[in-house]
């Protein structure tokens, strides 16, 4: 049976499965990478990927470009209260950091979205959400032709936070605290290439201090942000 235009985001995909297997094997062979203790999702940590000096430089660039974060849905309900910005793709420093993440994961650079910086000040948060695209949302057709599903997420913490600001995965029973220079990576798909609903997560409120991260999302195909359905 042929899948319809809107539901193919939610079904298994050989391409997504192959990306998952290839990335999983690469990260598992790296002695600098550790796998988080859950059998419900594939999640990895690499401490010290970004140096403290590089983190400070990224923080300065985020501060210079941040604006209130938006949602794909276009709603403004206080669901995501951080500030964010896409970092300059022509900046040699940003290029170097981006390529370092790509190389660690073995990802093709043109499958990655722009490196996005995010800042969470006191009380700011991002409520529970998944990084993959559900097939029933109005923006899926545009995402489908601009590169397809978000298969993997790579998020680097740029600073410690005095209190709060953890990344919480309630269905996995995991809470990851911000640590300067640590990269958190996870597969948004199951082994068969279908979306993994257990990757639901939240950026918990910052109680004291400020939280900074950079995030890179990887699509199943080449990312073409200007494509239209």
CA 68/CA 64 separation, integer angstroms? 13
- For residue 3, what pLDDT band results from cuts at 50, 70 and 90? very low
202-220 average pLDDT score: 98
pLDDT, position 8: 84
The percent of residues above 70 in pLDDT, for the chain, comes to: 93
Is 47 contained in some domain?
yes
Is 79 contained in some domain?
yes
3-8 average pLDDT score: 49
Mean pLDDT (the chain, rounded): 93
| pTM exceeds 0.75 for this model | yes
pLDDT, position 79: 87
pLDDT, position 227: 63
- Total domain count, the chain: 1
Are the beta carbons of 99 and 112 closer than 8 angstroms? Answer: no
What is the CATH classification number for the domain harbouring 186? 2.60.120.620
Is 209 contained in some domain?
yes
pLDDT, position 1: 35
Residue 187 scores a pLDDT above 90: yes
120-144 average pLDDT score: 95
Residue 229 scores a pLDDT above 70: no
Residue 7 scores a pLDDT above 60: no
Lowest mean pLDDT among 77-86, 95-104, 170-179: 77-86
Residue 225 scores a pLDDT above 90: no
pLDDT, position 78: 81
Is 8 contained in some domain?
no
Domain that holds residue 74: 14-153+168-219
- For residue 26, what pLDDT band results from cuts at 50, 70 and 90? very high
Is 6 contained in some domain?
no
Is 148 contained in some domain?
yes
222-229 average pLDDT score: 76
pLDDT, position 72: 74
180-196 average pLDDT score: 98
Is 228 contained in some domain?
no
Higher per-residue pLDDT: 2 or 198:
198
Is 208 contained in some domain?
yes
126-131 average pLDDT score: 97
51-82 pLDDT, tens per residue?
999 999 999 999 999 999 988 765 556 889 99
pLDDT, position 33: 98
């Amino acid at each position: 049976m042929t899948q319809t235009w809107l539901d193919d985001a939610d079904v298994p995909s050989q391409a997504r499965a192959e990306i998952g297997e290839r990335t999983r094997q690469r990260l598992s062979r790296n002695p600098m990478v550790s796998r988080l203790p859950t059998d419900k999702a594939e999640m990895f940590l690499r401490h010290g990927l970004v140096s403290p000096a590089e983190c400070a430089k990224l923080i300065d660039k985020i501060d210079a470009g941040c604006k209130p974060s938006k949602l794909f849905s276009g709603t403004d309900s206080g669901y995501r209260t951080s500030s964010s910005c896409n970092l300059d793709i022509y900046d040699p420093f940003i290029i170097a950091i981006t390529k370092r993440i790509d190389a660690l994961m073995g990802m093709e650079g043109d499958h990655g979205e722009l490196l996005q910086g995010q800042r969470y000040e006191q009380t700011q948060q991002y409520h529970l959400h998944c990084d993959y695209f559900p097939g029933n949302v109005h923006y899926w057709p545009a995402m489908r032709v601009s590169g397809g599903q978000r298969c993997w997420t790579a998020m680097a913490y740029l600073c410690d936070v005095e209190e709060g600001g953890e990344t919480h995965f309630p269905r996995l029973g995991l809470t990851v605290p911000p640590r300067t220079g640590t990269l958190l990576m996870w597969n948004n798909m199951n082994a068969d290439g279908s979306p993994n609903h257990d990757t639901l997560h939240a950026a918990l409120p910052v109680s004291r201090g400020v939280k900074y991260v950079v995030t890179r999302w990887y699509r199943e195909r080449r990312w073409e942000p200007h494509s239209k359905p």
